Amino acid sequence: MDPRRLGYFLAIVAHGRMAKAAEVLGVAQPTLSQQIRALEQDLGTVLFDRTSNGMQLTATGLALREHAERLIVQSKAARTAIAELEGGMTGTLRVGVIHTYSMAFLPQMIGSFSRKYPNVRLKVEASNARSVEQRILSGHLDVGIAFDPPQHLELGVDRLFEERLVLVLAKSQNRPPQQSISLAALARRPLALLTTAFATRRILDESLGPDVKLDIRVEMDSVEALIELARSGGLPTVLADRSLNARKDLAVIPIGPPWIRRSGALLWDAHRYQTAAARAFMAIARSTTKSL
C-alpha cells in the first residue's frame, strides 16, 4: 500500500469530511477523492460511507485505520533511526507516566536525562495506566512508566520495582504505630479512594474477598487531593507506598498480610523501533529506581 494514500485516508478519518482533509493536506479535493478511490480499488473494498454528515468509516475502514496508524508510526520510526545514525541524539522524547510516579521519582529521572542529553527535548504526560498504554500503542508516546503486567500484550515490559498498597492517614502523636491492617479491619473504616479508572483501585478491589465490602465515602481522580485529605485529618485513603515519597506528615500502614502488591515497569511498543533517546531514558529510569 502507498504510504501517501494511507496518510490521506487517515486525514479524512481525523477530519470527517473530504473538503476539510484536502484543505489541511494542501491538495485539491478531486485529487484527494481520486487517491481514496484508488486505495479502495487496490484493497477491493469500500472504506467510507459517503453521507450528508460526512465520511463514515465502514467495517473494513475501521480495520484499516488501526493498521494504517501503525504503519505510519513505523515509517516515522525508520526515518528517526536513519537520522540518528547520521546526526546523533536529538529531537523530542515523549514519556508517559502514571500520576503517582510523576511525583515520586520522575523529577530525578528528568534531571539526570536533561543534564546528560541537553539536545533532546522531553515531553512528559501524566495520566492513568490505561491511557499511557493506549498512547504508546497509538504512537503518541515513545516510552511509559506504569504497571506490570500491562493490559496490552503488544507492549514490551521491564519491571523496575515492587510496592505495597498501604492505608494513608494523618500522623498523630496520640496513636501508637501500627504494623499492618487486615482487609477486614480496613472495611470497618470510612475511606476516600481513587476511582476505578486507576490501577491502584482495581488492584485493591481484586484483592477483596466475597465477604469484604469497603465503606467508600468519597471517590476522586486526584492522588494529590486524596493525600491532602488524609493529611488534614479527613478520610484516610489507600495508595502505593512509593507514591508518598516518604512523607513525614502521614501515617502509613501496610494492608495485609497477605500484602497487596503492584509492580512498576517501563513500557514500550515492542513492534516499533526504540530511539536512542528512549533507550537512554530507560537506562536512567532503571538506575534511578534501583537506588531508591
Binned at pLDDT 50, 70 and 90, residue 4 comes out as confident
Res 86 pLDDT > 60: no
What confidence score (pLDDT) does residue 230 get?
93
Give the orientation angle of helix 18-25 with respect to helix 29-43, to 10 degrees.
Answer: 110
Which residue, 204, 214, 209, is CA-closest to 259? 204
Give the orientation angle of helix 3-15 with respect to helix 18-25, to 10 degrees.
Answer: 120
Instruction: Give the pLDDT mean for 88-97.
Output: 85
Mean pLDDT (the chain) is 87
DSSP string, 129-143: HHHHHHHHHTTS-SE
Q: Which three cell numbers stand for residue 160?
A: 523496575
Q: How far is 136 from 267, CA to CA, in rounded Å?
A: 8
What confidence score (pLDDT) does residue 242 get?
79
Q: How far is 228 from 283, CA to CA, in rounded Å?
A: 33
What confidence score (pLDDT) does residue 97 get?
95
Q: How far is 69 from 11, CA to CA, in rounded Å?
A: 11
Asked if 53 contacts 20 with a C-beta cutoff of 8 angstroms, the reply is: no
Place of cell 513500557: 267
Instruction: Give the pLDDT mean for 201-207.
Output: 92
Instruction: Give the pLDDT mean for 142-170.
Output: 93
Q: What is the pLDDT of residues 39-69, one digit of tens each?
A: 888 888 899 988 888 888 999 888 888 788 7
What confidence score (pLDDT) does residue 210 get?
83
Phi and psi angles of residue 179, each rounded to the nearest 5 degrees, phi first: -75, -35
Instruction: Give the pLDDT mean for 99-115.
Output: 88
Strands annotated E in 9-113: 48-51, 54-57, 91-98
What confidence score (pLDDT) does residue 173 get?
59
Which residue, 201, 214, 207, is CA-closest to 240? 201
Which residue, 3, 16, 12, is CA-closest to 32? 12
Asked if 213 contacts 143 with a C-beta cutoff of 8 angstroms, the reply is: no
Q: What is the pLDDT of residues 219-238, one digit of tens each?
A: 999 888 999 999 988 899 99
Instruction: Give the pLDDT mean for 103-120.
Output: 90
Q: Which three cell numbers stand for residue 61?
A: 475502514
Q: How far is 157 from 147, CA to CA, in rounded Å?
A: 9
Beta-carbon contacts of residue 74 (< 8 Å; ≥ 6 apart) = 271, 272, 273
Asked if 268 contacts 136 with a C-beta cutoff of 8 angstroms, the reply is: yes
Q: How far is 235 from 37, CA to CA, in rounded Å?
A: 60
Answering whether pTM is above 0.85, one says: no
Q: Which of 65-79, 121-135, 169-183, 239-253 has the lowest mean pLDDT?
A: 65-79
Domains and CATH numbers, the chain: 3-83 (1.10.10.10), 89-160+263-290 (3.40.190.10), 163-261 (3.40.190.290)
Q: How far is 151 from 130, CA to CA, in rounded Å?
A: 8
Helix, strand, or coil here: 247? coil
Q: How far is 71 from 219, CA to CA, in rounded Å?
A: 40
What are the residue ranges of helices labelled H in 208-258? 223-231
